[in-house]
Amino acid sequence: MKFSNSMEKEALEGNIEKALLAMSLPLTISDLSEVLYNLTDTLWLSWLGAAQVAAPTVSWPPIYVLLSFGNGLISVGYANISKAWGKRDLDEAKRNAGSLFLFSLLFSFIVSIVSLLFSGEILKLMGVPQDVYPFALIYFRLILVATPLAYITIAFSVISSSIGDAYVTMRVNLFSALINAILDPVLIFGLAGSPRLGVAGAAIATLVARGIVAIYCIVLLFFKYNKIRLNVSHLALSKQWTKNAFVIGSPLGIHRASNSLGQTVLVSVVSAFGSKALAAYGIGMRIIDLIQTFTSGLGRATAVVVGLNLGKGEKSRVIKASISSLKLMFLTLSALGAILIAFRTNLMEFFSNDTEVIALGSSLLLYSAISLPFFGLFFTTYGISNGSGKTYFFGILSVIRTWVLRVGVIILAFAFFKIQANDIWEILAISNILSGAVGALWVIKKRWLV
């Protein structure tokens, strides 16, 4: 069993900045492939109308709410597996990987089944517009069916990334996105002899792609993956793993659940301004998601580099990695934000020919671009808390960002002022700036390293 690879060696012994960038590249591409799922759906469904393109917009936030706490617990894999790998304890790494894989399956099956039973009620509670509701219900239910399959891929990605093998994660996710991209127009528009399925076709394409890749990941993890191959004996939820999952993972789960629930509330708020505002929000956020793949990739790379070096006892390298990550994140997202400001209207016109949708979406992209560097600092804080296992501060900061700086301010604005959709965009940007600045200060003070 070979522990070392060039990427892992760079993280433990080489240039920190190079290690972060080298590891973040495949993770960014991997996250980009996930965004392409939603972006592909948005692109093709926009040809059918505003109500159809809004279906994914209102469906994904409740899905993220239902599964986000489990995602937070699964994130404990970055700390547990990378630390075990860093100190060269292969048995411990395998036990943690097996526990993570089993938990992912159990959690996703339970949540998906319960959510399917109440899918209609969930969308009604969100106040989804009547012209959007029938399309959203079809899309929502089919994506819930595909969720356990997605979790197999997520578990494999966490395991492989935690041991410094980010390229296999990238290949798996690109393969999945490619299948979805091919099937989407075929099933949506009824090409090549297929029935014209519309919104349902987009969700079915996702379901098929998830299923094929899930099978591939199982074959890799249990039969073909040379770095860390599991067997049935590793599929057990030990007391220690479960304890660590809840102690370390709960704050991250709260962060994800809080953020996802907040997104659901925001979709409900935007819904009050009509289907065109909702379409603009959906398209705008898909574009922002493309840029934030770098944010997520560098954040995850930071978690792995921090975890590996903590496992080896290299605290000085951990500190250097954290500061380097802050700098790289802020400078890169500043440049990307400037590009987004320059081309925001052109990007909206690519997805819609409705002048109102384009105007609202362009405004959203402007405010988002201004706050992007600070959102990057916020996500660096997430990566460091994840890799170090010191997750409580970030969990609290995330809740404040979502429920005080966003939802709380929006409620007050509705109560005392007559606000428009553009005012919502401004509130979101300010929340990113404040939370990013506070997160960066926490990282610099290094209390998480004590």
Q: Is the pLDDT of residue 1 over 60?
A: no
Q: 65 or 434: which carries more pLDDT confidence?
A: 434
The CA–CA distances, whole Å, from 89 to 83, 96, 405, 417, 445 equal 9, 11, 43, 59, 31
What's the rounded mean pLDDT across residues 63-92? Answer: 77
pLDDT at 343: 96
pLDDT grade for 81, boundaries at 50, 70 and 90: confident
Contact yes or no for 197/188 (Cβ under 8 A): yes
Contact yes or no for 190/56 (Cβ under 8 A): no
pLDDT grade for 3, boundaries at 50, 70 and 90: very low
Q: Is the pLDDT of residue 172 over 80?
A: yes
Question: Which residue reads 């997202």 in tokens?
Answer: 333
DSSP state of 177: H
pLDDT at 312: 81
pLDDT at 238: 76
How many angstroms separate the CA atoms of 76 and 101, rounded? Answer: 12
Nearest to residue 3, comparing CAs of 80, 84, 77? 84
Question: Which residue reads 């090549």 in tokens?
Answer: 192
Q: 406 or 300: which carries more pLDDT confidence?
A: 406
pLDDT grade for 450, boundaries at 50, 70 and 90: low
pLDDT at 4: 45
The CA–CA distances, whole Å, from 361 to 245, 285, 365 equal 39, 9, 6
Q: Is the pLDDT of residue 408 over 80?
A: yes
The CA–CA distances, whole Å, from 84 to 9, 87, 100, 238 equal 15, 5, 14, 16
Reported as a single tens digit per residue, the pLDDT across 239-255 is 777 777 777 777 777 77
Give the rounded percent of residues in the chain with a pLDDT score beyond 70. 97
247-280 as b/e: b if 16+ CB within 10 A: ebbbbbbbbbbbbbbbbbbbbbbbbebbbbbbbb
Give the rounded percent of residues in the chain with a pLDDT score beyond 90. 39
Nearest to residue 362, comparing CAs of 380, 349, 375, 377? 349
- Using a 10 angstrom Cβ sphere, with 0-12 exposed, 13-18 middle and 19 or more buried, the burial of residue 446 is middle
pLDDT at 335: 96
Q: Is the pLDDT of residue 434 over 70?
A: yes
* Residue count (the chain): 450
- Segment among 70-74, 81-85, 303-307, 419-423 with least mean pLDDT: 70-74
Contact yes or no for 307/162 (Cβ under 8 A): yes
- For the range 120-129, what are the long-range contacts, defined as Cβ-Cβ under 8 Å and sequence gap of 24 or more? 122/62, 123/58, 123/59, 123/62, 126/58, 126/61, 126/62, 126/264, 126/267, 126/268, 126/271, 127/268, 127/271, 127/272, 128/58, 128/271, 129/51, 129/54, 129/271, 129/274, 129/275, 129/278
Sorted by sequence, the CB contacts under 8 Å of residue 422 that are 6+ apart come out as: 360, 363
Nearest to residue 205, comparing CAs of 170, 223, 179? 179
Question: Which residue reads 């490619």 in tokens?
Answer: 178
- Segment among 140-144, 164-168, 366-370 with least mean pLDDT: 164-168
- Look over the chain and give the mean of its residue pLDDT values, rounded to a whole number: 87
How many angstroms separate the CA atoms of 221 and 227, rounded? Answer: 9
Q: 201 or 92: which carries more pLDDT confidence?
A: 201
Within 13 Å, how many C-alpha atoms sit on residue 237's CB side?
Answer: 15
Q: How far is CA 112 from the centre of its chain?
A: 18
Per-domain residue ranges of the chain: 6-449
Single pTM value for the model: 0.73
How many angstroms separate the CA atoms of 195 and 401, rounded? Answer: 45
Question: Which residue reads 């965009």 in tokens?
Answer: 425
Q: Is the pLDDT of residue 22 over 80?
A: yes
pLDDT grade for 149, boundaries at 50, 70 and 90: very high
Nearest to residue 443, comparing CAs of 405, 386, 400, 399? 386
pLDDT at 167: 83
